[in-house]
Chain A
Amino acid sequence: MNFTDMREINLHQSLPDGLLVTNVDKLLAWGRLSSLWYLLFGLACCAIELMQTGGPRADLDRFGAVPRATPRQADLMIVAGTVTLKMAKRVKRLYEQMPEPKYVISMGSCANSGGLFAYAYSVLKGIDKVIPVDIYVPGCPPRPEALTEALLEIQKKIQNEKYLGRGPVAAGAKE
């Protein structure tokens, strides 16, 4: 069997003969996108929706995404909530501690642009002023369905990346 979209692989149905034809890049991509460990980290009310997304109803775990309580073993950072300037430095530090390749979801209006607090003196006007962002999720806060969609978009992005032979700059790395 030949798969173009690795996310469609269903091992139980597709391997009657124990045979799978694909290429290594796609297989690695499949492995990576199916085990996105996101940094267990929330900043404000968006974190409540993040918890709902990880909870049994939306259940991010069914896409292989589980929370990881250390940046050193996390692939994905979900910036969930209002980022103050004081916290922005810490968010950047956490991002820098994550190994490449790494991805960022900016969750909610505050992380996207400062949102409700855009006029505040101490609130960062968008997390992209500090770290590169892959997916922006609008909403105040976004519903769990919206965050799930963002995770699927990250998976789509990973699927089209070449992990091998990526040279000195790791796949997924931003300029």
Chain B
Amino acid sequence: MDIEEIERRLREGVPGGIVEIHRAPYSPHLVVDAAKIRDVCRFLRDDPALRFDYLTHLSALDTGATLCTVYRVLSLTHKRTVAMRAYVPRDNPVIDTVSDIWPSAGWFERESFDLMGIEYRGHPDLRRLLLPDDWEGHPLRKDYVDPLRYQDIDNTRDYEI
């Protein structure tokens, strides 16, 4: 079953869930409607022909006008993998959590929230994962400006490189 068949099955199972199919040579992926991400994910996990039972990775991209969550799921049953993207607007980056569908999404979503500022609605414990709780901003966004201070600590270099 290649990505076209996965897409066809998803279009039947979740109407309107797939926006497009992206055939990049290095990493083909499906673009999912962010509003239907939970339906798509649950179908991917539960459909006997798909059975994507393991979320290997979840990360995020800054594309400029939008932010994007990237999902890569694996079927241990059928031994295949597929990648998905869900785009959210930059001024309101909110998407539903999938941490109850795949528990491994829990920390990935926290990391993505921490570094990219995407809010995962319904996440049970959406705190920063890596940076301190009082950190300002989301460093992996393209428009992020490095802070000159953190609390009472000077964050500038005393030398030229």
* A interface, CB within 8 angstroms of B: 85-86, 88-89, 113-114, 118-119, 121-122, 124-126, 129-130
Contacts and interface: CB of A to CB of B under 8 A. Distances in A.
A129 B154 contact: yes
B1 interface: no
Nearest to B144: A121
B158 A125 contact: yes
A118 B159 CA distance: 10
Contact of B131 (A86, A125, A129): A86
B13 to A, nearest CB: 42
B151 interface: yes
Contact of B151 (A89, A122, A125): A89
A124 B159 CA distance: 13
Given A85-B132, A85-B150, A125 B144 contact: no
Contact of A118 (B132, B144, B150, B161): B161
A130 B147 contact: no
B125 interface: no
Contacts of A88: 153
How many of chain B's residues touch chain A, expressed as a range?
10 to 19
Interface of B: 131-132, 139, 144, 146-147, 150-151, 153-159, 161
A88 to B, nearest CB: 6
Nearest to B156: A125
B146 to A, nearest CB: 4
Given A86-B131, A86-B132, A113-B159, A121 B153 contact: no
A126 B161 CA distance: 14
A105 to B, nearest CB: 19
Contact of B155 (A89, A113, A125): A125
B153 A130 contact: yes
Contacts of B150: 85
Contact of A122 (B139, B156, B158, B161): B139
A118 B160 CA distance: 10
A40 to B, nearest CB: 24
Nearest to B147: A121
A125 B157 contact: yes
